[in-house]
Amino acid sequence: MDIESPTLLHSLPRGFRAVVIGASGGIGSAMCSLLRDRTDGGEITALSRRGDGLDILNEDSVARCAAEFSGRPIHFLFCATGALTIEGKAPEKGLKHIDPDTMVENFRINAVGPALIAKHFLPLMDRKQRAIAAFLSARVGSIGDNRLGGWISYRASKAALNQIVRTSAIEIARTHPQAVVAAVHPGTVTTELSAPYSAGHPTISADSAAARILATLDKIPPESTGSFWAYDGNRVEW
C-alpha cells in the first residue's frame, strides 16, 4: 500500500464533504491536515469540544452540530474521539482494580458518545454516491485477539463501540447502499493518549497513522461495510 501517493481517498467524488469529530486530538488534527493537503476534498469541517463546543456526551450538542449539515450530504465522516485514562486513572491491570464509576465513564466516552455521533451524523451521509464513515477503535477491543487480559473497562468499551459500528452499518446500508461504515485500529500512535503505555511497542506518528487509515478506508468495498480494520490494511477479528 503506497501511503506516499500525492492524493488520498480517490474513491470519493471530487470536492467531497468531510467532517472530522475530535479534531483537536493528535490523530484528529493529523487527519484534518491530510484531508486539506492530500485529497480532492472540498469542504472540510473540524469539530471538537475544545474548538467548537461539540460535546459527544450531550445529545443536544451533537444534534445541533449535525443539523448544520442538513441538505449538505457528508461523504467522509471520521470520529476520532476516545479516552484511555479516565480522570487520572490508568486502565486496570486485573479484576481487583475494577472501579464501577470509572468503568461507566469508559463506556460513556468510548461507546455512548460515538453512538450519538452515529445516530445523528450517519443518516446525513450521501445516499447516491460513495461515502465512508470511520470510528476510531482499538485492537484491544477485539475479543478474539485478547490474549493478555487486563484493561477490562477500556477493552469492553471498545468492544461495545465495535458492536455499535457493526449494527449501525447494517442499518445504514438499507438506505445508503454505497456507504462504508468501519471501525479502525490506528496502531500505537505517538499521542498524549498512548504515550504512557507505548514502551516496548512499535509506534508510528499521528501523520503516518492518519495517512495509512485513509489509504485503508479508500479500498473497503460497500459489501465489507461494518468491518474492523487496522491502519496497515489488515482486518481485525471481532
C-alpha cell at 185: 485500529
> Contact, 220 vs 229, CB < 8 A?
yes
Report CA-CA distances (Å) from 56 to 8, 28, 50, 59, 171.
28, 15, 12, 7, 21
The distance in angstroms from the start CA to the end CA of the chain is 23
pTM, two decimals, is 0.93
Residue-wise pLDDT for 66-97, tens only, equals: 999 999 999 999 999 999 999 999 999 999 99
3-state DSSP assignment of residue 222: helix
Question: Which residues make Cβ contacts (< 8 Å) with residue 235, sequence separation at least 6?
Answer: 227, 228, 229
- The structural domains of the chain, with segments of one domain joined by +, span 18-230
Strand spans (E) along the chain: 18-21, 44-47, 76-79, 131-136, 179-185, 227-230
Annotate 108-124 with DSSP letters as a single string: IIIIIHHHHHHHHHGGG
> Contact, 132 vs 121, CB < 8 A?
no
Three-point CA angle 34, 20, 164, nearest 5°: 125
Per-residue pLDDT 10s for the chain (238 aa) are 344 555 899 999 999 999 999 999 999 999 999 999 999 999 999 999 998 899 999 999 999 999 999 999 999 999 999 999 999 999 999 999 999 999 999 999 999 999 999 999 999 999 999 999 999 999 999 999 999 999 999 999 999 999 999 999 999 999 999 999 999 999 988 766 555 665 566 789 999 999 999 999 999 999 999 999 999 999 999 9
Q: Percent helix, strand and coil across the chain, each rounded to 5?
A: 40, 15, 45
For the beta sheet containing 227-230, the strands, ordered from the edge strand earlier in sequence to the opposite edge, are: 44-47, 18-21, 76-79, 131-136, 179-185, 227-230
For residue 190, the model assigns a pLDDT of 79
> Contact, 152 vs 93, CB < 8 A?
no
For residue 191, the model assigns a pLDDT of 65
Question: Which residues make Cβ contacts (< 8 Å) with residue 44, sequence separation at least 6?
Answer: 18, 20, 32, 35, 36
For residue 1, the model assigns a pLDDT of 39
CATH 3.40.50.300 fits 18-230, yes or no: no
